Amino acid sequence: MSSLAALSSSHFNGGCLWKYQDELKVGKLRISVTSMASSSPTQSLEFRDGKANKLDKLRIGVLGASGYTGSEIIRLLRNHPHFQITLMTADRKAGQSIESVFPHLVTQDLPNLVAVKDADFSAVDAVFCCLPHGTTQEIIKSLPTNLKIVDLSADFRLQNIAEYEEWYGQPHKATALQKEAVYGLTEISRKEIQSARLVANPGCYPTSVQLPLIPLIKSNLIEVRNIIIDSKSGVSGAGRGAKEANLYTEIAEGIHSYGITRHRHVPEIEQGLSEAANSKVTVSFTPHLMPMSRGMQSTIYVEMAPGVTTQDLKDHLGNYYEHEEFVVLLNNKEVPHTRHVRGSNYCLMNVFPDRIHGRAIIISVIDNLVKGASGQALQNLNLMMGIPENLGLGCLPLFP
Ligand SMILES: NC(=O)C1=CN([C@@H]2O[C@H](COP(=O)(O)OP(=O)(O)OC[C@H]3O[C@@H](n4cnc5c(N)ncnc54)[C@H](OP(=O)(O)O)[C@@H]3O)[C@@H](O)[C@H]2O)C=CC1
Ligand SMILES: CC(=O)N[C@@H](CCC(=O)OP(=O)(O)O)C(=O)O
């Protein structure tokens, strides 16, 4: 049996960000946790009894590996020192090799795609569930209860079942599991995520909106009335399935709004903001589809509490996220661009004074497939496993 141990502090290159748990048993692996990890944890860990080998790694299943978020998990896990993919599922593409589905992954030594019904879950310790909402509940319900699960779909995000049924238009089929699920907005709910078995990974729009707003609402720096959110997403947000509305000819050379007043992310955003405010918060939220493959921006118009300035909002967000690796408040009047987070797990944000006295404009950007989905999911599984939260997430944005 192997254990993980932190190397000496000489390997640390700056502040210690991550605290290990004391000891963790996962499947066959016992992780003995002795110290803190630095901001370069991939270099600060080694197996105490020798080199890491395949059997020493945690065995990961990717359900929905033939989709966009599934392939993004595969890309990120390529650089993860302690997770190894041993199971990948698909639906229509079951039976195929990964390179036939995703030619960009031809260099990777990965198992073939199998149907969920044929999957051997005895050979996995944890799964990323990258399936459409609705199908996910029943599949997760049927999984062995010893598995750690990060669900990227919306099926376990809403605590109120009636609200789920209203916005998703179908009965919830795993209500007991819903009670167990922890909402995985990492920087806000880290403590709860660490001890969770099932994490409901947040939606991409809700991630970009809640990261700036929750700290401001918690500290009563903004009014909870009249919050207006204008969000824009790249087309990969709609998944890989073929849809007429997502054809090049329908998307290119223009933008359009959709889901006006009725987008499924409204209740999710309101749930998080209401919890922060300790009272019911409602928002105006309009998403837009942009002619780009990935990226997401939320432009949020807020009214500040009496006497509060935009500098106060900036100072608060700066302090709140000071020790966070993946959430960055930009300096001065620097404008967050989606092109500056492409392929990375960063959320960049900044606050600007509105021309109208007492109002501020907050802009946050993420890559919908990374911080908005698979990157945050990996951050969460790292936490659930008691290993440094940033493992596998070191890739810088791809620019230009
Ligand atoms: N795309 C994004 O930016 C984000 C997505 N999400 C959520 O993550 C989940 C996955 O999204 P995404 O990767 O974009 O979706 P895709 O449509 O790209 O992929 C869906 C995957 O699920 C499989 N699948 C579809 N139907 C079934 C079924 N009935 N049983 C078993 N497997 C099935 C597909 O297999 P096959 O291809 O073989 O048919 C495919 O592997 C969704 O719930 C989505 O809402 C969350 C945040 C952001
Ligand atoms: C561009 C686009 O279509 N985006 C998707 C949202 C992304 C997503 O997958 O959200 P869930 O995880 O909550 O399903 C949409 O608007 O439905």
Regarding the beta carbon of 289 and ligand 2, being less than 6 Å apart is answered yes
Report the share of the chain in percent with pLDDT over 70.
Answer: 86
Regarding the beta carbon of 133 and ligand 2, being less than 6 Å apart is answered yes
pLDDT tens sequence across 221-234: 999 999 999 999 99
Q: Is the pLDDT of residue 41 over 50?
A: no
- Residue 392 — pLDDT band, cuts 50, 70, 90? very high
- Number of other residues whose CB lies within 10 A of the CB of residue 291: 13
- Residue 249 — pLDDT band, cuts 50, 70, 90? very high
- Which numbered ligand comes closest to the C-alpha of 62? 1
Regarding the beta carbon of 350 and ligand 1, being less than 6 Å apart is answered no
Q: Whose CA is nearest to atom 17 of ligand 1?
A: 239
Pocket test for ligand 2, best of 233, 285, 367 (most atoms within 8 A of CB): 233
Regarding the beta carbon of 237 and ligand 2, being less than 6 Å apart is answered yes
pLDDT tens sequence across 284-300: 999 999 999 999 999 99
Mean pLDDT value of segment 16-40: 36
- Number of other residues whose CB lies within 10 A of the CB of residue 366: 33
Which pTM was predicted?
0.89
Regarding the beta carbon of 372 and ligand 2, being less than 6 Å apart is answered no
pLDDT for res 40: 33
383: enclosing H helix or E strand? helix 375-384
Report the share of the chain in percent with pLDDT over 90.
Answer: 86
Q: Is the pLDDT of residue 53 over 70?
A: no
Q: Which two tokens stand for residue 317?
A: 């967000």
Q: Is the pLDDT of residue 1 over 80?
A: no
Annotated active-site residue in 129, 130, 204, 347: 204
Q: Is the pLDDT of residue 9 over 80?
A: no
Q: Is the pLDDT of residue 71 over 90?
A: yes
Mean pLDDT value of segment 233-246: 96
pLDDT for res 182: 98
Q: Is the pLDDT of residue 237 over 50?
A: yes
Residue indicated by tokens 């073939």: 112
Q: DSSP label at 125?
A: S
- Residue 56 — pLDDT band, cuts 50, 70, 90? confident
189: closest CA among 180, 201, 178, 177?
201
Pocket test for ligand 1, best of 75, 113, 116, 130 (most atoms within 8 A of CB): 130
Regarding the beta carbon of 68 and ligand 1, being less than 6 Å apart is answered yes
pLDDT for res 60: 98
As for the ipTM of the complex, it is 0.98
> CB within 8 A of 92, min separation 6: which ones?
66
- Which numbered ligand comes closest to the C-alpha of 137? 1
Peptide bond before residue 287 is cis, with ω within 30 degrees of 0? no
Pocket test for ligand 2, best of 164, 185, 240, 264 (most atoms within 8 A of CB): 264
pLDDT for res 51: 40
Question: 6-10, 222-226, 305-309: which range is least confident on average?
Answer: 6-10
- Number of other residues whose CB lies within 10 A of the CB of residue 331: 9
* Closest approach atom of ligand 2 to CA 153: 12
Mean pLDDT value of segment 167-177: 96
CA of 324 to the centre of ligand 2 (A): 26
Whole-number Å distance between alpha carbons of 97 and 75: 16
pLDDT tens sequence across 363-390: 999 999 999 999 999 999 999 999 999 9
pLDDT tens sequence across 72-82: 999 999 999 99
Q: Is the pLDDT of residue 83 over 60?
A: yes
Q: Is the pLDDT of residue 150 over 80?
A: yes
Sort strands 36-37 and 126-129 into parallel, antiparallel or unpaired: unpaired
Q: Burial code of 214-247, b = ≥16 C-beta within 10 A, e = fewer? A: bbbbbbebbbbeebebbbbbbbbbbebeeeeebe
The mean of the pLDDT values for the chain is 89
CA of 374 to the centre of ligand 1 (A): 12
347 is catalytic: no
Answer with the residue of higher pLDDT: 370 or 22: 370
Regarding the beta carbon of 267 and ligand 2, being less than 6 Å apart is answered no
CA of 244 to the centre of ligand 2 (A): 16
